Amino acid sequence: MSSIEILVKAAAVGIGGTLVLDLYALFLARVMGVPATNWAMVGRWFGNMPRGQFIQAAMSKAEPVKSEPAIGWIAHYAIGAGYGLLLLALWGRAWLNYPTVLPPMLLSWVLLIAPYFVMMPGMGLGIAGRRTPRPNITRLKSVAGHSVFGLGMYATAVALSRFWPTPL
């Protein structure tokens, strides 16, 4: 198996985790009435960065960006793929053949740093969502989402290890 195939497989692990997260969010929205992430606002945030605007006071007041929903969804899946690559970099090729649950869970929990200290403050929500109406609920949703993402990466890796083994 070429290095490119291994990288594609690792990215697929992250994309699979992202897909599981999105199915979880869809379930929460449809069955439990829990609002899902508005990826258009994430797209607006990313879309304003080339203009030098990395921190917004409020995303609803930020300058709209052409194709912001698409930008948000692409960023969401690209970040997921990147996390899959990071998992490979930290745990190696052998993990792709013999996945265990702890590495993706640890990684997904450590990566809570990103929404708490980059995304939320950048989108005007404060560190760890302290400016949201219910900060502890915001934090809990992030922990739950990242946990589901980690489990999704693990499940994807298990499926890929059975159907697309990686030569050591």
Label residue 70 by pLDDT band (50, 70, 90).
very high
Contact between 20 and 150 (Cβ < 8 Å) = no
pLDDT at 161 over 80: yes
* Residue 168 forms part of a structural domain: no
- Taking the complete model, does pTM exceed 0.85, yes or no? yes
* Residue 40 forms part of a structural domain: yes
* Residue 17 forms part of a structural domain: yes
12-60 tens-digit pLDDT:
999 999 999 999 999 999 999 998 889 999 999 999 999 999 999 998 8
Domain carrying residue 35: 3-163
> Where do the DSSP E strands lie in 9-158?
none
pLDDT of residue 1: 65
pLDDT of residue 47: 96
Let me know if 135 is exposed, middle or buried by CB neighbors in 10 A (0-12, 13-18, 19+): middle
Label residue 164 by pLDDT band (50, 70, 90).
confident
Length of the chain: 168
pLDDT at 117 over 70: yes
Contact between 157 and 165 (Cβ < 8 Å) = no
| CA dihedral over 1, 6, 18, 44, signed as positive or negative | negative
Number of structural domains (the chain) is: 1
pLDDT at 122 over 70: yes
pLDDT at 101 over 90: yes
pLDDT at 168 over 80: no
Cα distance between residue 35 and residue 37, in whole Å = 7
Helices (H) and strands (E) in the chain, counts: 7, 0
* Residue 90 forms part of a structural domain: yes
The residue whose two tokens read 């969502």 is 129
- Mean pLDDT to the nearest integer, 77-95: 96
* Residue 63 forms part of a structural domain: yes
